[in-house]
Chains A and B, each alone.
Chain A
C-alpha cells in the first residue's frame, strides 16, 4: 500500500573547489556517514541506496556499482539516476518512490559531484546533439544567458537587481559553513566582476564545487521511531521540456516553461492559493542571479515583473517574509549531482530548525525545494513539518 515518506537523516560535506585528500568514494562516504549519524542509524538499517550524478564529470560508467564499498550498497537494493542538473532532486524523488511504493521502509539517497577531476564546461557541452549544435554550445552558460536577457527585456529588471540577489546569497553563504564561496560581497564588488558570457559576469554564475549530500528517507511507520523531527515529503512534481527547452516565445505563442507548469500543478493539488503566505522558505536551484528572480515569477510565487521587486524590498532575504536560498543556494555552491539533493536537505534543515547560523527568522512549517537542468527541466518538492 502507498506509504507516506519522511526525511529522517541529513548529511553533507564541506563544499570547496578541490578535495585532493579524498577520492570519489571517500567524498560520498563522508556525506553518508554524516546522514546515518544524524538519523542515529547504521548501514544495516538501510534497505536500498539511490545515487545519481552525471557520469562524464568523473569519467566513471556505472559508478553506482563501482562505488558500492563507500555508498554501503553492497548486498542491498538500489540503482542510479541521471537527469542532468535535476538529478539531485530526482534522487530524492526516486527515494520517495522506493519507499512510497511499499517495496522498502528505509532508503539512503546520495547526490554527489567531484568537479576538480575534469573541465566542467567541456563536460556540459556534451549534452548537445553531436551533428547539429554541439560545436556551438558553451556549456550551461548559453541557456542561462538567454533566460537572463529574456527576463530583463520582459520585466525591466536591471543588472543591479541581479547584483542584489548575489549580495544576499553571499550574506547567507557567509553564515553557512558548508557552502563553497562564502565571502561577503557588496553590490559594487559584484558589478565590477569580469564578464563571462553577456549579460552574466563571474559573480552572476555559480562556482564549480566538490561535494556530496546524503539523506535517509523512511516510511511513516519507521520515521516516527527513528526521529522526533521527521520532515515529510508531502508532494513532488517533475516536468521536463523537449529539446528546444521553450527558451524562445515566438509571436502568437504564449510563454510556458516547465517551472510554470510544475508550480501550477503542485500548488493546485495541494490547495495552496497564496504560496508566498503558505510557504515559509524556498531552497530554489538558482544557478544564476537573474533566474532566481525570473523563476520566482514562473513558479507562481509572485506575479510577472514582481520578482526583482521582492528582492528590492528584501522579502527574499534570510530574515525576510519569503526567504529564498538561505543556504546561499547554487549561486554559492554547485557540485551539480549534489546541488538538487542539497536543496531538499537545506529546506528540511530549515523545517527542523537545525540550520544553525543561516536558520531563517520565520517559523517554518512548509518549504519548497526545486531542481533545474537538462533542456529546461524542473523538479519541485513540497516538504512539511507535519502530515496534515
Chain B
C-alpha cells in the first residue's frame, strides 16, 4: 500500500454529561433544612476534644467521637470575620452546570461568630481593594419562600 505520508493529526471532541443525585446525608441535610426554615447556620461540637464542625458532622474528624445529639447543635453567625478571600477575574467552566462562571466572582472563607470553623461562600463585594482579611461580614438569606434547603439559600455575605 503506498505510504501517502499524511501528517494530518485528528482530534476528536466529546462532551461528557453525567447526571448525579448526590445524597447530602442526615447531618448536612438537617443543616440545609435549617437554612430554609429558620434562616440559621448551625455547627456542632465534639463532646470530647471540643472541635467544632460546620456544617455539623456525625463524628469528630480528630478523635472519632460520635456527635449525635441534635439539641447540642450551636447556632453560628450570621455575622463573622473574613479569614481569606479570592476574586476570580478569569472565568472557567463550572462543571456542575456546564456554564461559564460569571465574573468577577469573589469567594470568602468566613469565621462565623460562635464557633472556630471556616465556611466557604460567595461575597457580595467583588472589588479586591474593598475586601480585607479580618473585616466583618454578614450572611444575607433569600426570602423564606424562595429557599429550597440548599447552600444557595444564603445569597452571599455582605460587608458590614
Interaction A to B? yes
Q: Are A59 and B16 within 8 A (Cβ)?
A: yes
Chain A residues positioned under 8 Å from B118 (CB to CB): 244, 247-248
A147 and chain B: residue at smallest CB distance: B84
* Per-residue A-contact encoding for B134-158, CB less than 8 Å = 1, 0 else: 0000000000000000111000000
In the complex, how many residues of chain B place their beta carbon closer than 8 angstroms to a beta carbon of chain A? 38
Known contacts: A131-B24, A248-B118. The answer to whether A149 contacts B92 by CB under 8 A is: no
Chain B residues positioned under 8 Å from A247 (CB to CB): 84, 109, 118
- For window 69-89 of B, CB contacts with A under 8 Å fall at 83-89
Docked Cα-Cα span, A134 to B89, in Å, equals 18
A347 at the B interface (CB under 8 A): no
A253 and chain B: residue at smallest CB distance: B116
Q: Which of B32, B93, B122 has the most CB of A within 10 A?
A: B93
Segment at the interface with B among A72-80, A100-108, A137-145: A137-145
Segment at the interface with B among A121-129, A163-171, A177-185, A215-223: A121-129
A198 and chain B: residue at smallest CB distance: B128
Q: How many A-B contacts if CB must be within 8 Å?
A: 91
Q: Are B9 and A21 within 8 A (Cβ)?
A: yes
Docked Cα-Cα span, A194 to B45, in Å, equals 42
A68 at the B interface (CB under 8 A): no
Whole-angstrom distance between the Cβ of A143 and the nearest chain B Cβ:
10
B61 at the A interface (CB under 8 A): yes
Q: Are A248 and B87 within 8 A (Cβ)?
A: no
Q: Which of A21, A136, A149, A250 has the most CB of B within 10 A?
A: A136
Q: Which of A59, A122, A198 contacts B14 (CB 8 A)?
A: A59
A251 at the B interface (CB under 8 A): yes
Q: Which of B14, B55, B90, B96 contacts A132 (CB 8 A)?
A: B55
Contact residue range for chain A? 35 or more
B14 and chain A: residue at smallest CB distance: A59
Main secondary structure of the interface of A (DSSP, over half): loop
Q: Are A136 and B120 within 8 A (Cβ)?
A: yes
B11 at the A interface (CB under 8 A): yes
Docked Cα-Cα span, A59 to B118, in Å, equals 32
Q: Are A142 and B86 within 8 A (Cβ)?
A: yes
Whole-angstrom distance between the Cβ of B92 and the nearest chain A Cβ:
5
Chain A residues positioned under 8 Å from B111 (CB to CB): 248, 250
Chain A residues positioned under 8 Å from B89 (CB to CB): 195-196
Whole-angstrom distance between the Cβ of A219 and the nearest chain B Cβ:
37
Docked Cα-Cα span, A247 to B11, in Å, equals 41
Chain B residues positioned under 8 Å from A149 (CB to CB): 84, 133
Q: Are B83 and A248 within 8 A (Cβ)?
A: yes
Q: Are A20 and B11 within 8 A (Cβ)?
A: yes
A202 and chain B: residue at smallest CB distance: B90
* Per-residue B-contact encoding for A195-209, CB less than 8 Å = 1, 0 else: 111100000000000
Docked Cα-Cα span, A146 to B93, in Å, equals 22
A388 at the B interface (CB under 8 A): no
B28 at the A interface (CB under 8 A): yes
B16 and chain A: residue at smallest CB distance: A59
Q: Are A146 and B150 within 8 A (Cβ)?
A: no
Q: Are B9 and A20 within 8 A (Cβ)?
A: yes
Chain A residues positioned under 8 Å from B86 (CB to CB): 138, 141-142, 145, 197-198
Q: Are A243 and B11 within 8 A (Cβ)?
A: no
Docked Cα-Cα span, A125 to B111, in Å, equals 22
Q: Which of B9, B28, B86 has the most CB of A within 10 A?
A: B86
A130 at the B interface (CB under 8 A): yes
A133 and chain B: residue at smallest CB distance: B120
Docked Cα-Cα span, A139 to B88, in Å, equals 11
A135 at the B interface (CB under 8 A): yes
Having A122-B92, A149-B133, one finds 18 other A-B pairs with CB under 8 Å, namely A20-B9, A121-B92, A122-B94, A125-B92, A125-B94, A131-B28, A133-B120, A135-B152, A136-B107, A141-B86, A146-B109, A149-B84, A196-B89, A198-B85, A198-B86, A242-B62, A247-B84, A252-B116
What are 14 sample pairs from A and B whose C-beta atoms fall under 8 A apart?
A20-B9, A119-B92, A121-B92, A125-B94, A131-B150, A134-B96, A142-B107, A145-B84, A146-B84, A146-B109, A197-B86, A242-B61, A248-B109, A250-B116
Interface of B toward A, CB cutoff 8 Å: 9, 11, 14, 16, 20, 22, 24, 28, 32, 55, 61-62, 83-90, 92-96, 107, 109, 111, 116, 118, 120-122, 128, 133, 150-152
